[in-house]
């Protein structure tokens, strides 16, 4: 099973000066540092997750006396393996010196119809360049190649 990356639990309408602490609901162990409410939305980072986890969030107010109340709702973050296990990825200048060829190898693919080849000039906004068929469901090494992409397509905004 694959592992998930870090995520955050969102607390909407936090109370000003109330300290919110993320905890694992299974054993009430604390996760990360407490975050002080701002009156708006605050984010509590979960750290890297390797399995589905349920969290709870107690809020503690210390003014004028210390009072701690656990939120009534819990949040569950599900971790599922990615449908593709990537072994390698390579991009190289094509023999015509005017385009780039992409090659990648997968070890497994689960119900994978296709890969979308995308580009980004700012690592935020992506533009689709084309589609390469996936292997469907395969449990063997599978080599994929894209149609060469010209430099003008790759470098144009």
User: With 80 as the cut, is the pLDDT of residue 71 above it?
Assistant: no
Q: Is 105 exposed, middle or buried (0-12, 13-18, 19+ CB in 10 A)?
A: middle
pLDDT digits (tens, 9 = 90+) for 92-118: 887 877 778 888 998 888 888 888 888
**Rg of the chain in Å (alpha carbons):** 23
> What are the structure tokens assigned to 60, written together?
């503690």
Q: Is 79 exposed, middle or buried (0-12, 13-18, 19+ CB in 10 A)?
A: middle
Q: Is 130 exposed, middle or buried (0-12, 13-18, 19+ CB in 10 A)?
A: middle
Q: Is 48 exposed, middle or buried (0-12, 13-18, 19+ CB in 10 A)?
A: exposed
What pLDDT is recorded for position 2? Answer: 41
What pLDDT is recorded for position 93? Answer: 83
pLDDT digits (tens, 9 = 90+) for 8-54: 888 888 888 889 999 988 898 999 899 999 988 898 888 877 778 88
Residue 1: pLDDT band (50, 70, 90) is very low
Which of 58, 15, 20 minimizes the C-alpha distance to 38? 15
Q: Which range in 1-5, 72-76, 144-148 is most confidently predicted, on average pLDDT? A: 144-148
Mean pLDDT across the stretch 78-104? 80
């Amino acid at each position: 099973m694959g592992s998930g990356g870090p995520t955050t639990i969102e607390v909407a309408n936090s109370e000003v000066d109330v300290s919110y602490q993320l905890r694992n609901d299974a054993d009430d162990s604390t996760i990360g540092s407490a975050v002080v409410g701002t009156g708006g939305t605050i984010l509590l980072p979960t750290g890297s997750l390797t399995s589905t986890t349920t969290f709870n969030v107690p809020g503690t107010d210390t003014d004028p006396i210390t009072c701690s109340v656990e939120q009534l709702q819990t949040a569950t973050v599900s971790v599922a393996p990615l449908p593709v296990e990537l072994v390698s990825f390579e991009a190289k200048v094509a023999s015509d010196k005017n385009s780039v060829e992409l090659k990648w190898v997968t070890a497994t693919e689960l119900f994978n119809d296709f890969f979308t080849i995308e580009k980004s000039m700012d690592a935020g906004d992506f533009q689709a360049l084309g589609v390469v068929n996936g292997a469907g469901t395969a449990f063997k090494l599978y080599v994929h190649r894209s149609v060469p992409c010209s430099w003008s397509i790759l470098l144009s905004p």
